[in-house]
């Protein structure tokens, strides 16, 4: 049972990074207080993981067979990949690190089956994430702008509404994050039948560990990522977060964990497309491509070597 | 309770705008008396009234600004409104400055130019009245800002036309060059009221455009 701590560590690392994707812009631009953001994020992450997290858990556990030991190795390899790339200020997706680690472990064990068809579905969803979020933002921007205009609000009312809407969008984003990412944390342990295969318990542990990362160590990332991202006005930030949340939530329904970082980039890109201005440069797009290729490769290499040499 | 903070800010801004309009109204009265009675004691009293109104409007502006630092406005809107109030404040400052200029320098406007000076003052005070309406629209109905901004620009152009015509008349006529230069300065100082009003209206135009369409 101690092996679950590998997953909890991974969840904590995920939480420290991904909180910025839902509340980063709002906190960095001082629209929402940091304390308010992290408390709300923690609550809704846990809610999302319990209500919506089981689909992703089943998908990841179905990629290849796991034992408790191999599940621990996968979780630690993914966590180390995430932490070392974060330390090197390189883009990283926890979902892709976990999937890469799972495949690497599967390939290291002779006679082990890898569900390539399922992997293909997962990779297709990764590609679809920034594209889907961009499309969602492109469609959402004029609709929300029209709604806001129809309300005929003065500047003070508009200000209050935007603040409230950003909080709601952030909560929804946190819920989607929990529903999407609980699988990254405990999906492999479901496959290893930890806790008797109690999927809701595993989803709760996944959500709680992500929430712990948000509550304890997300401030720096939230402030730097939130301000390093393209400076957006409050309305555009709302559209980007909403687009990201909807996209990630859709994939939670489909049952495939995806990258929330790439979803928010897609959302910002979609806004730029609508406004006819380039908000994302080729360097950022390269970073997404890098994430697709390097992250799972690195994590997979790690688990393959450990699996081959030690298990 | 939910709307209390919002109403407090809107009331504070409205009171500030009313006070600035009182200042410009006092300025208009003072110039009216000046063109009729010259540098009379009544004119002096009205100059003092302009000064007191300007000081009171400063006080109300600071009150409104300190309310902004609560959480009623998001930072981008707070910055816009604070910048706007600071820019509006330059107008009553100028009105006070002109009133004192006439009073302290014992300025004498020849009779043949008084009607044109009155028209110049009227155009500039009218531009500020329009400006107060436009600023108020930000807190009532932002859709009405841009049409009023266009009217402010027209008033400013009208003021420019009167200024140029007046300066030309003064320098085409015989008389002491030094007196002419003083009158020209006074004309330009009065005209600066509508120039400043137009500068504020440019800010309002940008704020209005930032609202997504």
Structural domain of residue B51, as residue ranges? 4-210
**How far does B90 lie from chain A, in Å, by closest CA?**
22
pLDDT in tens, B34-69: 999 999 999 999 999 999 999 999 999 999 998 887
Number of domains in chain A: 1
DSSP class per residue in chain A: -TTHHHHHHHHHHHHHHHHHHHHHHHHHTTSS-HHHHHHHHHHHHHHHHHHH-HHHHHHHHTTS---HHHHHHHHHHHHHHHHHHHHTT----HHHHHHHHHHHHHHHSTT----HHHHHHHHHHHHHHHHHHHHHHHHHHHHHHHHHHHTT--HHHHHHHHHHHHHHHHHHHHHHHHHHHHHHHHHHHHHTTGGGG-HHHHHHHHHHHHHHHHHHH-HHHHHHHHHHSPP--HHHHHHHHHHHHHHHHHHHHHT----HHHHHHHHHHHHHHHHTS--S-HHHHHHHHHHHHHHHHHHHHHHHHHHHHH-
Residues A39-56: tens digit of each pLDDT: 999 999 999 999 999 999
Q: Do B131 and B152 meet the contact criterion of CB atoms below 8 Å apart?
A: yes
From chain A, pick out residues whose CB is under 8 angstroms from the CB of B80.
155
Give the total number of structural domains in chain B. 1
State the helix-helix crossing angle for B4-37 and B75-104, rounded to 10 degrees. 20
**B186 band by pLDDT with thresholds 50, 70 and 90:** very high
Site from B67, B71, B212 to mutate, A interface, most A CB atoms within 10 angstroms: B212
CATH no. for residue B84? 1.20.58.220
Instruction: Name chain B contacts of A145, Cβ cutoff 8 Å.
Output: 212-213
| Mean pLDDT calculated for residue range B179-183 | 94
Contact check, Cβ <8 Å, B73/A156: yes
pLDDT at A225: 62
Residue of B nearest to A231 (CA): B76
Chain B residues within 8 A of A160 when measuring between CB atoms: 6, 72
- Write the residue in A141, A145, A159 that is nearest to B73 by C-beta: A159
Choose the most confident range, by mean pLDDT, from A29-43, A225-239, B62-76.
A29-43
Instruction: Nearest chain B residue to A32 by CA: give it.
Output: B74
Interface of B with A (CB under 8 A): 6, 9-10, 71-78, 80-81, 138-143, 207, 210-213
- Calculate mean pLDDT across residues B187-198: 96
Backbone angles phi, psi at A30, to 5 degrees: 65, 25
pLDDT at A285: 72
Among the partner-chain residues B76, B138, B213, the one whose CB lies closest to the CB of A154 is B138
| DSSP reduced 3-state for B138 | helix
Q: Report chain B's C-alpha Rg in angstroms.
A: 19
B161 or B68: whose pLDDT is higher?
Answer: B161
Residue B19 banded pLDDT, cuts 50, 70, 90: very high
- pLDDT at residue number A224: 67
Q: Per-residue confidence at B87, pLDDT binned at 50, 70, 90? A: very high
For residue B143, give the nearest of A152, A159, A162 by CB distance: A152
Distance of residue A287 Cα from the nearest chain B Cα, in angstroms: 30
Residue identified by tokens 């841009």 is B146
Q: What mean pLDDT comes out for the span A174-183?
A: 94
Model confidence at B198: pLDDT above 60: yes
Residues from chain B contacting residue A159 (CB–CB below 8 Å): 72-74, 77-78
Tell me: pLDDT of A226 over 60. Answer: no
A contacts of B143 (beta carbons < 8 Å): 152
| Mean pLDDT computed over A280-285 | 71
Using a CB-CB cut-off of 8 Å, the residues of chain A touching B75 are 29-31
Lowest mean pLDDT among A103-112, A128-137, B122-131: A103-112
Asked whether the beta carbons of B19 and B56 are under 8 A apart, the reply is yes
> What's residue A124's pLDDT?
92
Residue span of the structural domain in which A225 resides = 4-310
Contact A233 B76 (CB under 8 A): yes
What is the rounded average pLDDT of the residues A144-165?
A: 90
Across chain B, mean pLDDT equals 92
- Selecting from B75, B141, B142 the residue whose C-beta is nearest the C-beta of A30 gives B75
- pLDDT, greater one: B173 or A111: B173
Which chain B residues have a beta carbon less than 8 Å from that of A234? 74, 76
Confidence check: pLDDT of B213 > 70? no
CB A279 within 8 A of CB A271: yes
């Amino acid at each position: 049972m101690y092996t679950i701590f590998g997953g909890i560590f991974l969840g904590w690392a995920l939480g420290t990074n991904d909180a910025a994707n839902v509340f980063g812009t709002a906190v960095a631009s001082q629209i929402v207080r940091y304390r308010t953001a992290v408390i709300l994020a923690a609550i809704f992450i846990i809610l999302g993981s319990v209500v919506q997290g089981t689909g992703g858990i089943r998908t990841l556990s179905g990629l290849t067979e796991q034992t408790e030991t191999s599940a621990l190795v996968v979780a630690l390899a993914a966590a180390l990949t995430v932490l070392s790339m974060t330390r090197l200020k390189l883009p990283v997706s926890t979902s892709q690190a976990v999937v890469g680690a799972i495949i690497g472990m599967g390939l290291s064990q002779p006679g082990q089956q890898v569900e390539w068809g399922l992997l293909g579905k997962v990779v297709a969803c990764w590609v679809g994430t920034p594209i889907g979020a961009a499309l969602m933002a492109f469609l959402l921007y004029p609709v929300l702008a029209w709604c806001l205009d129809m309300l005929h609000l003065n500047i003070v009312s508009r200000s209050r509404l935007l603040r409230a809407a950003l909080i709601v969008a952030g909560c929804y984003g946190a819920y989607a994050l929990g529903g999407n990412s609980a699988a990254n944390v405990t999906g492999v342990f479901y496959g290893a039948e930890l806790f008797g295969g109690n999927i809701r318990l595993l989803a709760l542990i996944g959500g709680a560990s992500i929430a712990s990362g948000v509550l304890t160590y997300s401030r720096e990332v939230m402030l730097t990522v939130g301000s390093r991202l393209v400076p957006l006005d409050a309305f555009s930030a709302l559209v980007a977060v909403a687009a990201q949340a909807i996209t990630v939530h859709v994939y939670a329904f489909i049952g495939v964990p995806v990258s929330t970082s790439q979803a928010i980039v897609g959302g910002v890109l979609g806004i730029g497309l609508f406004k006819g201005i380039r908000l994302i440069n080729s360097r950022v797009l390269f970073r997404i491509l890098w994430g697709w290729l390097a992250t799972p490769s690195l994590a997979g290499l790690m688990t393959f070597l450990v699996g081959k040499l030690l298990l | 309770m939910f709307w209390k903070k919002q109403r407090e800010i809107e009331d504070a801004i409205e009171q500030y705008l009313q006070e600035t309009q009182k200042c410009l109204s006092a300025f208009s009265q003072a110039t009216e008396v000046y063109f009729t009675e010259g540098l009379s004691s009544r004119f002096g009293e009205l100059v003092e009234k302009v000064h007191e109104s300007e000081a009171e409007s400063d006080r109300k502006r600071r009150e409104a600004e300190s309310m902004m630092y609560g959480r009623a406005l998001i930072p981008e809107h707070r910055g816009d409104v604070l910048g706007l109030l600071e820019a509006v404040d330059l107008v009553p400052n100028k009105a006070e400055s002109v009133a004192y200029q006439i009073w302290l320098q014992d300025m004498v406007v020849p009779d043949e130019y008084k009607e044109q000076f009155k028209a110049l003052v009227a155009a500039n005070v009218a531009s500020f009245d329009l400006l107060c309406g436009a600023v108020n629209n930000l807190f009532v109905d932002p859709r009405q800002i841009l049409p009023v901004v266009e009217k402010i620009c027209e008033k400013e152009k009208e003021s420019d036309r009167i200024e140029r015509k007046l300066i030309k008349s003064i320098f085409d006529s015989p008389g002491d060059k030094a007196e002419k230069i003083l009158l020209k300065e006074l004309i330009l100082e009065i005209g600066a009221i509508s120039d400043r009003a137009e500068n504020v209206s440019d800010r309002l135009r940008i704020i209005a455009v930032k609202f997504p369409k």
